[in-house]
Amino acid sequence: MSHRTFTHLDALESEAIHIMREVAAECTNPALLFSGGKDSIVLLRLAEKAFRPGRFPFPLLHIDTEHNFPEVIEFRNHRVKELGERLIVRSMEDSIKQGRVVLRSENQSRNPFQSITLLDAIAELRLDACIGGARRDEEKARAKERIFSFRDEFGQWDPKNQRPELWSLYNTRTHPGENMRVFPISNWTELDVWEYIEREQLEVPSIYFAHWREVIPRDSGLLPVSHLVQPSEGERIEKMMVRFRTVGDMSCTCPVISQAKNVNEIIVETAMTRITERGATRMDDQTSEASMELRKKEGYF
């Protein structure tokens, strides 16, 4: 290696490793949020780079909506086993049983309620830091978020009152009951994530690649048919070649039409794409211009 080969991916990787090690050293009880999605897959490789040959100095935590694609849960379990690290799963079903989450209907999107289960898990496990895979390029509310994002005892984000973040001197301090959300890949774009997945030859769940799937065209997106999503009157099911750009709640995560069968083809499509990641794939972020900002203020990632 020499100066000449220090690429943007090397710079982003080194920054993320540095951030993870700061969390490990300065926070008392951190966890890494792992959902089986591509961003958290990247986080796991960065954690391997940061801490091997040692074990991760934190457990992995999955906030399970139980509206996940089965391929993603299968992948999650396989990857955790391969790593030999500890996975904690907290499920929204528990929050529903305890009356902490009240749904209007069984098939309603569960994304907005993830915050409640997450905040409950933070309190139960006494976490003072959660490492997450959010990126600033995803959404305009995220563009203003710090790498170490402070949350008060209600888990709330106050965009007008964030700690200034200078150089790479992160202020990790919290009082009991407060916590940090830490985003090591804040500065990565969707394209950077795929390029890193290619460079590191990381496995991803199969639904990221183009496959035939039954979908319902609704509003401007395509909804995947499942036990949660069935056609309403006047809608029809179509079979299309699609892939998912994000893997969230099955009831509101839309695939895009694609021919990309491998990571390299995804990179080419991503480099040429004309629609933002969330604009194309998340119905819940389109309800109002400020929906992500409002959800974040309430404790969402």
Partner 1 sequence: MSEVKNVRLDRAELLRFITAGSVDDGKSTLIGRLLHDSKSIFEDQLSSIARTSNKRGMQAVDLSLLTDGLQAEREQGITIDVAYRYFATPKRKFIIADTPGHEQYTRNMVTGASTANLAIILIDARKGVLTQSRRHAYLASLVGIPHLVVAINKMDLVGYSREVYERIRNDFAAFAQGLRLSNIEYIPMSALNGDMVVERGDKLTWYEGRTLMDLLENIDIEHDVNTDDFRFPVQWVCRPQTEELHDFRGYMGRIESGSIRVGDEVAILPSGLSSRIKEILLYKHSFEDAFAPQSVTLTIEDHLDISRGDMLVKAGEQPQIKKEFAAMLCWLSEQPLDSRRKYIVKHTTRMIKGMVNQIDYRVDVNTLTHETADSLKMNDIARVVMKVQQPIVFDDYAHNRGTGSFIIIDETSNNTVAAGMIC
List residues near partner 1 by CB under 8 A: 1-3, 5-8, 10-15, 17-18, 21-22, 24-26, 48-55, 57, 136-137, 140-141, 143-144, 159-160, 162-169, 171, 173-175, 186-187, 189, 191-192, 195, 267-268, 271-276, 279-280, 289-290, 293-294
Please, which residue, 74 or 293, has the CB nearer to partner 1? 293
Residue 241 pairs in a beta bridge with 212
Q: Residue 110 corresponds to which tokens in the numbers above?
A: 């569960």
Place of tokens 């540095």: 18
For residue 293, count other CB atoms closer than 10 A to its CB. Answer: 17
Whole-number minimum distance, CB 234 to partner 1, in Å?
Answer: 26
Whole-number minimum distance, CB 14 to partner 1, in Å?
Answer: 4
Whole-number minimum distance, CB 86 to partner 1, in Å?
Answer: 16
Please, which residue, 120 or 285, has the CB nearer to partner 1? 285
Please, which residue, 64 or 138, has the CB nearer to partner 1? 138
Whole-number minimum distance, CB 108 to partner 1, in Å?
Answer: 24
Please, which residue, 189 or 206, has the CB nearer to partner 1? 189
Please, which residue, 102 or 166, has the CB nearer to partner 1? 166
Please, which residue, 214 or 293, has the CB nearer to partner 1? 293
Please, which residue, 143 or 237, has the CB nearer to partner 1? 143
Please, which residue, 64 or 190, has the CB nearer to partner 1? 190
Using CA atoms of 91, 92, 93, 99 in order, give the dihedral in degrees to the nearest 10. Answer: 130
CA quadruple 73, 74, 75, 79: dihedral positive or negative? positive
Whole-number minimum distance, CB 63 to partner 1, in Å?
Answer: 25
Whole-number minimum distance, CB 236 to partner 1, in Å?
Answer: 25
The closest alpha carbon to 134, from 263, 19, 9, 33, belongs to 33
Strand order in the sheet with 255-257: 221-224, 211-218, 238-244, 255-257
Whole-number minimum distance, CB 96 to partner 1, in Å?
Answer: 30
Do 178 and 28 form a contact (C-beta atoms < 8 A)?
A: no
Place of tokens 């499920």: 91
CA quadruple 282, 274, 70, 81: dihedral positive or negative? negative
**DSSP readout, 48-107?**
HHHHTTSPPSS-EEEEE-S---HHHHHHHHHHHHHHT--EEEEEHHHHHHTTSS--SSTT
Whole-number minimum distance, CB 247 to partner 1, in Å?
Answer: 20
CA distances from 31 to 27, 147, 160, 213 (A): 10, 15, 26, 35
Q: What angle do CA 186, 41, 47 make, to 5 degrees?
A: 75
Q: Report helix, strand or coil for 46.
A: helix
